[in-house]
Homo-oligomer: A and B are copies of this chain.
Amino acid sequence: MTDHEGVTVLTRGQLARATGCNIETIRYYEKIAMLPEPPRTASGYRIYDDRHAIRLRFILRARELGFSIHDIRGLLELVEGGRQTCAEVKGRTERHLAGIRAKLADLEKMRQVLETAAAKCSGDNVPECPIIETLTSA
């Protein structure tokens, strides 16, 4: 595909490569209306532009940061409705952060338990293992 009036125009595969997104995932996002249905060529090929790429990157980044599709829909509505306030966005982010911090604390605990247990373990071929002791009595 080529450019028109300085606007970069992409096929689905090109959008996928440009964003690092699986092509099937793009299709899925369209199906669930996370991405708008793009216009088509006469033969039915989809035509994407920069705005699609920007929106998709936003979605991918938010997914990477652990936001659910539902969360992201909310964020996108705020952003694109133009009526978002910083306070609303911050509130949502803080709630999400709280969940992440809780998971971090739990994982940290688990790491310590396993590391302590592994350190006590000689690795010799004996059937008594301190790791098992630790896990069963945790």
Contact = CB atoms under 8 A, between A and B. Distances in A.
Interface of A: 54, 57-58, 61-62, 64-66, 75, 78-79, 81-87, 89-90, 93-94, 96-97, 100-101, 103-104, 106-108, 110-111, 113-115, 117-118, 121-132, 135-136, 138
Nearest to A81: B132
Choose among A66, A87, A107 the residue with the greatest number of B CB atoms under 10 Å from its CB: A107
B54 A136 contact: yes
Nearest to A126: B86
A107 B64 CA distance: 9
Contacts of A90: 118, 121, 123, 129, 131
Given A82-B127, A125-B87, A65 B138 contact: no
